[in-house]
Chains A and B, each alone.
Chain A
Amino acid sequence: MSETMRCAEAVRQLWDYLDHAVSPEDHEKVEQHLSFCRTCCGELEFAKQLRGFLASHEADELPPAVKARLQRFATDL
């Protein structure tokens, strides 16, 4: 049985956990912690929302004047 993880440590690892960037041992510890900690499950859901928020953030529009200048620059290379 692995050692129990505390909330602060679990929260610190949540994004890496979602990225599959934690060791198998830590992955298991995070899962074990999430199995009984409702607050950290909320943290996990919010981490997913924040990641989605960043990923779906709209790209800046390319202003027509900037587009024209950059296209001219590429043409003049």
Chain B
Amino acid sequence: MIEVGDRTKESFQRLAAAELPGLYSLARRLVRDGAEDLVQEALLRAYRSFGTLKEDPAAGRWLKRILVNVFRDELRRQARSVEELPVEQVEDFSLYRTLVEQDPLPYSDTLHHDFLQTFAREDVREVLLRLPEIYRAPLVLRYMDGFATKEIARMLDAPLGTILARLHRGRQRFERELWTYAQENGLLLKGAMG
């Protein structure tokens, strides 16, 4: 934990240096291009409001929240609209069942586990980037960075029900894209050959 008690420029720089890897990694999960710009803008905003940071242990999460706010504002600025389907209209896709039915790794005794192991770090990023931002961001924040759904709703300035619906849709899309990506990129062939 970085102590930022005196809220000086030097303590901000220490905090920033310690949190840069986590901030950059989160930014790379949220955007395809411009992760560095996203981190820079977050650092700028954070520095301006450094005095409002209440507790040292929360500093890392505080910086990440600011980065998500920057991301949200950028989405709004671009005003890209994505058709949002109600949960009831989301097509049911089960990766679990698809793997059982298609059995792409016939020599595997732990099919579902081995399927996931065929994905390298960059593959997972590519799969995530195939999802529209409004579905990708809640998924990343909830299941990769461990934010609570209520906190995600606050950061993205959306009703909790909307975030829950987007998480549901995002999970469905993520499962489908894992399957599609694995087929398109020959991951299953490599996995089947061991």
Contact = CB atoms under 8 A, between A and B. Distances in A.
From DSSP, what is the main secondary structure of chain B's interface residues? helix
A69 B36 contact: yes
B71 interface: no
B96 A15 contact: no
B153 interface: no
B108 to A, nearest CB: 14
Interface string A40-68: 00110111011101110111111000110
A77 interface: yes
Contact of B94 (A11, A57, A59, A62): A11
Interface residues of A, number: 34
Interface residues of B, number: 42
A30 B59 CA distance: 38
A62 B20 contact: yes
Contact of B25 (A42, A55, A62): A62
A6 to B, nearest CB: 11
B121 A60 contact: yes
27 contacts: A8-B92, A11-B94, A15-B168, A16-B168, A39-B97, A45-B112, A49-B113, A49-B116, A53-B119, A54-B139, A55-B144, A55-B146, A58-B121, A60-B29, A60-B121, A61-B21, A62-B21, A69-B36, A70-B39, A70-B43, A71-B13, A71-B17, A71-B20, A74-B13, A74-B43, A75-B13, A77-B12
Interface of B: 9, 12-13, 16-17, 20-22, 24-25, 28-29, 36, 39-40, 43-44, 47, 87, 92, 94-97, 100, 112-113, 116, 119, 121, 124-125, 139, 143-144, 146, 149, 164, 167-168, 171, 175
